[in-house]
Copies of this chain bind each other. A is one copy, B any other.
């Protein structure tokens, strides 16, 4: 059984073939990173672009979110990809297919409100897309274009042995939020919510309303602070493995340093379960990045807009090996994100079936 990664490998191969034929002038990065990157003759800035497909009953359920939150989330996950390139988001396109009853109702108005609220926050303009009918389920393709100063985009492939590994924000909350939703928990009405949401409510919002680290990403790119970067969509164990594979390096991280979402403790999810969620949960949409020691590290801010970045370990020269130290024991960390959560997060195709 093939995985989505086999497909990415196939497309990469075909791009390499065309590169050899000389038809890829202007292509800086094709498939295989958070965004593709292109360069136009004369331009001061490189262009980055990403597309993210959200399918009803795979990526979300109409009964466990609101149209407004869905509009936010569709844009947020693409903004996160732009941030992971160290780029600034500029333009969005939205292809959306809805069944007739959804078209007739208030869904789209609310969806666009959520979308525009986040777009305005980052001065992103909706410039195109498509709208279509579907037989029964909602489908959304969120496309965002951004720009980085020429040569400043940050790839997954730039990490070198000795670099320090950082992660923004906290991890594991979105996965627990999804678990709560799949178990039947629901958001309270917005009135009650806004006053003092309890931990369960906040965890569900971690999943339903992720905050892309747009300012962090842009700063890391513009100031050339990060050597490599990826956003945490599949989960730390998977995404760190991707980064290491692309960079041809290994990594060693320490469990005690991983910034586990403090909300987990409040709902009594504790080690080792909380650590497992932080390592394998996915969809936190935080940024994982590497920094060259010494002068670069000295310039790294402790936080940006109130969001901290935490040192969790180092890049090693043991290519492909990701090691995790828990207490006094060090073991290999397997990329377990979408496999472990296959029953919950059915977006991805399993590597084996």
- Which residues of A does B touch, CB under 8 Å? 1, 4, 7, 10-11, 14-15, 18, 23-24, 26-27, 29-31, 35-36, 38, 40-45, 47, 49-53, 55-59, 90-91, 93, 95-97, 100, 103-104, 108, 112, 116, 120, 123, 125-135, 137, 139, 141, 143, 145, 147, 346-349, 353
Chain B residues near A125 (CB-CB < 8 A): 15, 18, 23-24, 27, 30
Partner of A137, one of B38, B42, B108, B135: B135
- The 8 Å CB contact of A40, one of B26, B44, B50, B104, is B44
B47 and A47 form a contact (CB under 8 A): yes
Residues A58 and B129 in contact, CB atoms below 8 Å apart:
no
Q: Is the CB of A93 within 8 A of B51?
A: yes
Q: Are A38 and B91 in contact (CB under 8 A)?
A: yes
Q: How far is the CA of A139 from the CA of B53 in the complex (A)?
A: 10
How many angstroms between the C-alpha atoms of A45 and B47 in the bound complex? 13
Collect the chain B residues with CB atoms within 8 Å of residue A35's CB: 128
Q: Residue on B with the closest CB to A147?
A: B40
Minimum distance in angstroms from A62 CB to a CB of chain B: 13
Are B93 and A36 touching (Cβ within 8 A)? yes
The answer to whether A127 and B23 have CB atoms under 8 Å apart is no
- Assess whether B14 is in contact with A91, with CB atoms less than 8 Å apart: no
Chain B, residue nearest A14 (CB): B116
CA distance A43 to B52 in the complex (A): 27
How far apart are A42's CB and chain B's nearest CB, in angstroms? 4
Q: A51-B93, A95-B141 are in contact. List 12 more A-B contacts (CB 8 A).
A: A4-B131, A11-B126, A29-B127, A36-B91, A43-B44, A51-B128, A51-B130, A53-B96, A58-B132, A133-B346, A133-B348, A141-B143
